[in-house]
Structures are given as structure tokens and as C-alpha cells.
């Protein structure tokens, strides 16, 4: 029989203990979880934004081999950082990470700041990444909210209807384990990634089942909470994101600052689409455009 929901929208201590015991036995063994270096943790958390963890593990090790310290990253050219970011997508993250390194070196003596508000002000570091770094690297009792955490806490504390957006961060902060905040951050993410999935959640295996209002609700109510879409997704190769990635990969293959002709077509994308993508990449600071030729570019040099 499920227990009554905590009135404060916070998981009780015995629920936290159950999640941590499950994590100790079943949590994902990921390479970047073996470090307490704040810089290495910052890199891993920026990489994990919008990217599957399986892709992050190899890229994280490769990136740290190239830029082992925050000082090394701050001193690198944007082009070299983008080359080291190959395969990760969302290339603006790489440039923001480099800019964050520059701020850390210039304003914090090369040490990743401990203060949550200061972390949030670093380029590209939003509330989730700042809280993840604060909890994992510095043991701060703050709750990092990503898609997985939002789903786990929303279901456990709010049932099929979930929690209101304004309640989620407060619930995460109230539910964090004060003794093991870093492990708690990893544990709730793992519950969401492996058990509390958007569709067909594995409630019978979940350590939160005795306290979960979603698991304890009738099946029809659980079914109503599943998001459905009647629109077929656009094939990835037809998207601007795919095109941008192919253009940047072509430029990555050139190790110097030479201009590269970006010929059409690329997949199903014609000259017009390529020129639009190049302009957008230039606005984002990822590439530079040759002022003397059409569709000639290189990775950003400064």
C-alpha cells in the first residue's frame, strides 16, 4: 500500500535511503563519476546537456586529455576546442565552456567557484549545471533538476498529474540527501534514466515505489499522463541541426585556419539552405565566413 504523499512535496528520509541503497547496488558505473575534480565535473555536466550519457563517457576522457586543466582550456583557440568536441553536437556548448574557463581563470584564480550563484553566472551554466557541480564537486545540499529528475519527483510527489513547474525546484532542494548530495544527484538521475522512463516505467523495480503517488494510482490515471503526438517527427537528416553538424564536421577536418569551400548539396540540402546554415553558425560564433567568397568558411579562430 503506497504511503500518503508528503505534504511539503519532499521525499522523506527513508525514501532517500532506499534510493541511495539502490544506487549503491545498481547505479551506472560511469568514468566521470570517479573524479572529484571540479573542473572535470564541470566538463562532464556541460557535455551531458542534451546528450546521451553513452556518448559523453568517451568524449569526456578525450576532451580532458586535450585540455587537462581549466587554464589549458581557457588558453585554447575556439577552433581547437570545437575539434575536440567532435561527435557531441550542440557546438555552442563547447564555446561557452571555453568562455567559462576564461572567466574562471580571470576572476577566480583558475579555481571553479563553489558558490551556487557565482556558478550560475558562468557562460552557458544554467541552474541545472550549477547545482549539479555544486552538489557533486562541493557537497552542497542542492537539487539539480534535469528531465529525469523532473519526471521522478513529479511522479513520486505529484502522481499522474506531476508537479507544477514552480514546485519542481523546491521539491528537488527539499528532497536532496544532506549527507550524500552528490550521490543523490546521480541516483535520482539513474532512477529516471533506467526505471522511471517516460513510457512503460518499471515501477515494480523502482526503490521509490512504496512512496510513489504515480505507482500507487490506478492504471487509467497513469495512462492519461503519457504525452502523445499525432505528428510524425521530421527525419533527422532533413533538419537544420543535421546540416549544421555536417558543415562543422567538414571544417573540423582542416587542422589549420584555411578557408574551406562548403559545396552543395549536403544530403538533401541545397545552396540556399547551406548559406542560411553558415550564416547562423557565424552568428553563433562557431564559424567565420570568408568575406571574399560565397560558402567559404572556417572554424572560429578567436
Sign of the torsion angle spanned by Cα atoms 71, 77, 83, 87: positive
> Would you give the DSSP letter of residue 205?
G
Q: What share of the chain is helix, strand, coil (3-state, %, to 5)?
A: 55, 5, 40
Instruction: Note whether 141 and 135 are within 8 A (CB).
Output: yes
Per the DSSP assignment, residues forming a β-bridge with 267 are none
Sign of the torsion angle spanned by Cα atoms 192, 85, 57, 116: negative
Instruction: Note whether 95 and 82 are within 8 A (CB).
Output: yes
Other CB atoms within 10 Å distance of the CB of residue 294:
12
Instruction: Note whether 78 and 302 are within 8 A (CB).
Output: yes
Phi first, then psi: what are they for 300, rounded to 5°? Answer: -55, 135
> Would you give the DSSP letter of residue 204?
G
Instruction: Note whether 57 and 31 are within 8 A (CB).
Output: yes
Q: Indicate if 271 belongs to the active site.
A: no
Among candidates 58, 40, 24, 59, which has minimal Cα distance to 186?
A: 24
Q: Which three three-digit cell numbers place residue 139?
A: 557537497
Angle, vertex CA 203, rays to CA 200 and CA 209, nearest 5: 155
Question: What span, in angstroms and rounded, lies between the C-alpha atoms of 76 and 53?
Answer: 25
- Pick the catalytic residue from 45, 65, 263, 275: 45
What amino acid positions are annotated as catalytic residues?
A: 45
Amino acid at each position: 500500500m503506497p504511503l500518503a504523499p508528503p505534504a511539503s512535496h519532499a521525499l522523506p528520509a527513508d525514501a532517500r535511503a532506499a534510493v541511495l541503497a539502490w544506487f549503491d547496488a545498481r547505479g551506472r558505473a560511469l568514468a566521470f563519476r570517479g573524479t572529484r575534480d571540479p573542473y572535470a565535473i564541470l566538463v562532464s555536466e556541460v557535455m551531458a546537456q542534451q546528450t546521451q550519457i553513452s556518448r559523453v563517457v568517451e568524449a569526456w576522457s578525450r576532451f580532458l586529455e586535450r585540455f587537462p586543466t581549466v587554464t589549458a582550456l581557457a588558453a585554447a583557440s575556439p577552433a581547437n576546442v570545437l575539434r575536440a568536441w567532435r561527435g557531441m553536437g550542440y557546438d555552442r556548448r563547447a564555446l561557452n565552456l571555453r568562455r567559462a574557463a576564461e572567466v574562471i581563470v580571470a576572476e577566480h584564480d583558475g579555481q571553479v567557484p563553489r558558490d551556487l550563484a557565482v556558478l550560475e553566472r558562468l557562460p552557458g551554466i544554467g541552474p541545472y549545471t550549477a547545482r549539479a557541480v555544486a552538489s557533486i564537486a562541493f557537497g552542497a545540499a542542492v537539487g539539480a533538476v534535469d528531465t529525469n529528475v523532473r519526471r521522478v519527483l513529479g511522479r513520486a510527489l505529484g502522481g499522474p498529474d506531476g508537479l507544477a513547474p514552480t514546485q519542481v525546484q523546491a521539491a528537488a532542494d527539499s528532497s536532496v540527501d544532506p549527507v550524500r548530495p552528490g550521490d543523490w544527484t546521480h541516483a535520482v538521475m539513474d532512477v529516471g534514466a533506467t526505471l522511471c522512463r517516460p513510457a512503460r516505467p518499471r515501477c515494480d523495480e523502482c526503490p521509490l515505489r512504496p512512496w510513489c503517488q504515480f505507482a500507487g494510482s490506478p492504471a487509467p490515471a497513469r495512462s492519461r499522463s503519457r504525452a502523445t503526438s499525432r505528428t510524425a517527427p521530421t527525419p533527422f537528416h532533413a533538419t537544420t541541426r543535421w546540416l549544421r553538424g555536417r558543415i562543422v564536421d567538414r571544417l573540423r577536418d582542416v587542422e589549420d585556419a584555411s578557408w574551406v569551400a562548403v559545396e552543395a548539396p549536403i544530403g538533401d540540402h541545397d545552396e540556399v539552405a547551406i548559406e542560411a546554415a553558415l550564416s547562423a553558425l557565424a552568428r553563433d560564433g562557431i564559424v567565420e565566413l570568408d568575406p571574399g567568397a560565397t560558402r567559404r568558411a572556417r572554424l572560429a579562430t578567436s
